[in-house]
Structures are given as structure tokens and as C-alpha cells.
Amino acid sequence: MLGKIKYQLKKNINIKSGYLVLIGVISLFLIVGGFSFALFTTTVESRGALNIVTGNLYSLLESDSFSKNTTVTLQAGESKTITMTLKNVNTIHAKFNLWYEAEEGVLVNYVSGGDDPPTEVGYVIDSSKVKTYKIKMVNNTSSSQEVKFGSDVGLYNQTLDFPSNKKKLELGLPTLYDEIKKKAVLDNIQSEFVSSTTGINFGEVSSDTNGKGVYTFASTKDDKFPVHYYRGAVTDNNVKFANFCWKIVRTTETGGIKLIYNGTPDENGYCTNTTGEVTQIGTSAFNETYNSIEYVGYMVNNTSDSTIKGVIDNWYQTNMTDYTEKLDDVIWCNDRSSRVEGNNTYFGSYDRVYTTYSPSLECVNDADKFTVGETNGNGLLTYPVALLTSDEIMLAGGGTGNSSYYLYTNQTWWALSPSGFVNSSAHGLRINSRGGVLGNSFVYRSYGVRPALVLKPGTGITSGDGSQNSPFVVE
């Protein structure tokens, strides 16, 4: 194999005459993208103590010729996944180390497969057992790169050392959720950018003393997937996905990542948009008709599409259908829980914005839980895409007026949340271009459309740190 491996049995063997020569054959096959690896004859020669020296490990090419390494070539920016199957065809257990060589800027990760990924030293595979893994490679450099795979193989009771100049496979790509989680602090305590001992005051907008960074929504801290959200004038929540730029808003209750549209990359591939019409897909009325309470709905009476839903669905159908499998089917809450005051009706989101200052991630009515499937919601969506709620905008730092937080674009754009049916007119909530006020407006007004979607839990990062010039690039 690549470099000889020696080991010595603890028990000496008493040799009465001549040499004892033990010939053993261990076959370990590693199939990498159609190539087969085999450990050839292992010869054991004894003189007092028993020393075993294995032979060389070769890869069998389609031409039946042999070479010492299997090499996978990646073009600049290319991503490739290979399947690796390990089979021990012998009647005894075998042990191996799997390693690779690649230039800096090339990520190589174990992403799925058996229960025990082959990253440890001296990984054991039992007799007649098969393990299958997937190895993902991403070339983040600007030139063609090679990734070479090899292995050291020995017997079950042999001590194997990992070659110091080789690289081990990592356990999967770093996930976007984990990167966000690392930065999060509780939002109900005093911290670096929160001066109050009771935490963030959502009755006030974000600032250097009322939240700037990543926070954990305190009521979810003990959940399996606590909700973490970005707030204030942050610049490290940029994502490049599906050839568009996005801003991370928050994580979801399932561990997904909610994003809001933020335009297209510039000529350098950077996500530098901050203001202007480029941060939205166009403009639209929420509903062109406004003289009935039903027109506050994302779907009118939950039977026909609102005007804005039609715009979003058309955009999605044109640009995003190839990426649907990467997205999570979560609840989009068009919260129509309400109270009546005289001849007017006010919805729950209105009260949270103007009265209680308490953003909520709960959706009270099942009919308001818009989803594609029927497992968690009403199953009325065509695609897993909608708009941010006013509650999510409050978490991000919006409210009475704020032009210094990441959702401010100097444009007026719609939220998903209804405001009320007041003076015989349907109203919805939106961010105003003048000072970024989170307020209400007639649903027939034409404002910006910024679609939002959710990346599936476990989505990995192939490069980037979230900055404008180095946005997170997801799988």
C-alpha cells in the first residue's frame, strides 16, 4: 500500500528450525466512482518475533492497469459527490485508515452513509461486511484541482497510525444552522449590544444598545432547535443560493434557515445590495380589491390567490423550481386572529406591532398556517415560498422607524401579516421607505415584493463567512 505498515505481535513465537513464512491474503475493496481498490498478498516472515509487512495497495483501473492512487479531478468552482463502498471479503476482521490529499480551498467531507464514518484511526470493518459512504468535494479555487484518495490497511489486532502528512475526512460540511448558533446570545439578558438587564425591548427599534447581532428567542431556548435571529445593522448574514443573494432572517423551529430575497450577485459574485429596487423582484398590490375583510388574506377566503401570491408564485416557477428539494415546507402565518372594536376589526399582528410590542412565532388559527403539504398546515401553497411576517421584522429591528438595520432598503415593501379591516377597507402591514416604519396600508397599494423561503435543516456551507464579499455559499 502507499507506504509500508509494520506491526509486531506482542507474543513471541518460538521457532525451532529455519524460518516460518506465513502467507495471508486479505482483500479489502473500496469502490470510488467505479474504481476498485484491493490489498494484495500479505507476507509474514518470523525470526523470533513475528513481523508482518503488508504489500502495496493499488487501484484497479478500467484498463486493468495499476496505479498507486485514485485521483478525482475538479474544475474551478466544481462540486462533485462520489460513492465509496468498502467490502471486507475475507473471513477475518480488517482495519484501515482512509485519507486524501487536496490543495487548500478544496473541501472534502463525508456527508452520508454508514453508522461509523471512516474518519477515525484504524477503523474496523467486520468480516463479510459492507459499508457505503458519500464523499462530497467542492473546489473553491479558480483553477482545476485534483483530490487523491488512499488507504492504509491492516489486520484487526494491528495498530495503525494515521499518516501525519495526510488529511482525514471531516464529518460532513459545516451547517449553516451551526454557524448561526455559534454567535447567538439570549435576547432576554444584558449582553454586548443590549444594555438593559431584562434584554431586548421590542417596543424600540434595534440599536447598539437594543440589539445588534444574533440572538436566541428566549421562549425557545429549551427546544430541540432554538430559534436564532439576526437583529440590527449586521453585515454577516449574506447567502448566495440558486444564483440569487439572500439575507438570513432567522432559524426555524425545525432547524431550517429562513432567508429573504436581496437581489442578484454583482460582477464579482458578491452580495453587495443594500438599498433600492434591486433588493426586490418587483412591485405588486397585496390584493387589488379592498372593500371586504377577506382581502387581507394571502389567499382570499383560502380559495383563490391574492394578487401578491400570484406574483411570487410566477417568479418562483420561473427561477426556483430546480431548487425545491433544498427547501423546507414550513408554516407561513397569515395571522387573522382578530378582535372587533366598533365597526372595525384589528388582527393579532396589528396589536403586537402597536400595543403589546411582543413579536410571536406562533400561529393561532390552523386556517392561517399556509403550507404546501397538509402535515403541518393547510396544504394550500403551490410552492414553499411567501413573505416575512411583521413579527419577524420586529425581531430584526423594525418598528416605529429604523433605517439602520439589515432589512431597510429605502423601499416600501409588503409583509405577510394583515393589519385590520378599518373604515370598510382592508389593510396590511409593510415597511415604509421613509424611515423604515413598520406600519399599515391599504392592500391595493403597489409596494415591493421580497420573497422569503426556508433552507432545509442540515444545509451545509461550501464556502464563505456571510460577509458581502464572501457570502455563505450553500450546497
Mean model confidence pLDDT for the chain? 82
CB atoms within 10 A of CB 343: 9
For residues 326 and 414, state if they share a domain.
yes
Ordered alpha helix ranges (H), 286-415: 307-319, 348-351, 390-396
Cα-based distances in Å from 397 to 182, 245, 375, 454: 21, 21, 32, 20
320 & 188 share domain: yes
Least Cα distance to 230 among 176, 183, 278 occurs for 183
The reported pLDDT for the residue numbered 28 is: 35
Nearby residues of 207 by Cβ (< 8 Å), 6 or more positions away: 193, 232, 404
Number of structural domains the chain divides into: 2
Residue 25 lies in a domain: yes
| Domain span including residue 100 | 6-171
pLDDT at residue 165 in the model: 80
Domain termination residue (choose one: 171, 189, 224): 171
Residue 100: inside a domain, yes or no? yes
- pLDDT in tens for each of the 475 residues of the chain? 333 333 332 333 332 333 222 223 233 333 333 333 333 223 333 222 222 223 222 222 222 222 345 788 899 888 888 777 666 666 677 777 777 888 888 888 877 655 556 666 777 777 667 777 778 888 888 899 998 877 766 767 777 777 778 888 777 777 899 999 999 999 999 999 999 999 999 999 999 999 999 999 999 999 999 999 999 999 999 999 999 999 999 999 999 999 999 999 999 999 999 999 999 999 999 999 999 999 999 999 999 999 999 999 999 999 999 999 999 999 999 999 999 999 999 999 999 999 999 999 999 999 999 999 999 999 999 999 999 999 999 999 999 999 999 999 999 999 999 999 999 999 999 999 988 999 999 999 999 999 999 999 989 888 899 999 999 998 7
Select from 171, 191, 221 the last residue of a domain: 171
> From CA 225, how far away is CA 456, in angstroms rounded?
13
Beta bridge partners of 214: 230
Please report whether residue 1 resides in a domain.
no
- pTM comes to 0.75
Identify whether residues 210 and 128 lie together within a single domain: no
pLDDT at 88: 66
Residues 407 and 434 in one domain: yes
Does 180 lie in the same domain as 144? Answer: no
Predicted confidence at residue 90, as pLDDT, reads 64
Query: Where is the domain boundary, 171, 190, 214?
Result: 171
Alpha carbon 54 to chain centroid distance?
43
Residue 400 lies in a domain: yes
**Is residue 324 domain-resident?**
yes
3-class SS of residue 354: helix
238-241 vs 472-474, strand pairing mode: parallel
Indicate whether 51 and 162 sit together in one domain: yes
Same domain for 120 and 192, yes or no, is no
Res 441: pLDDT: 97
258 CB neighbour count, 10 Å cutoff: 22
Rg for the chain (alpha carbons), in Å? 29
Q: Are residues 310 and 446 in the same domain?
A: yes
Q: According to the model, what pLDDT value does residue 367 have? A: 97
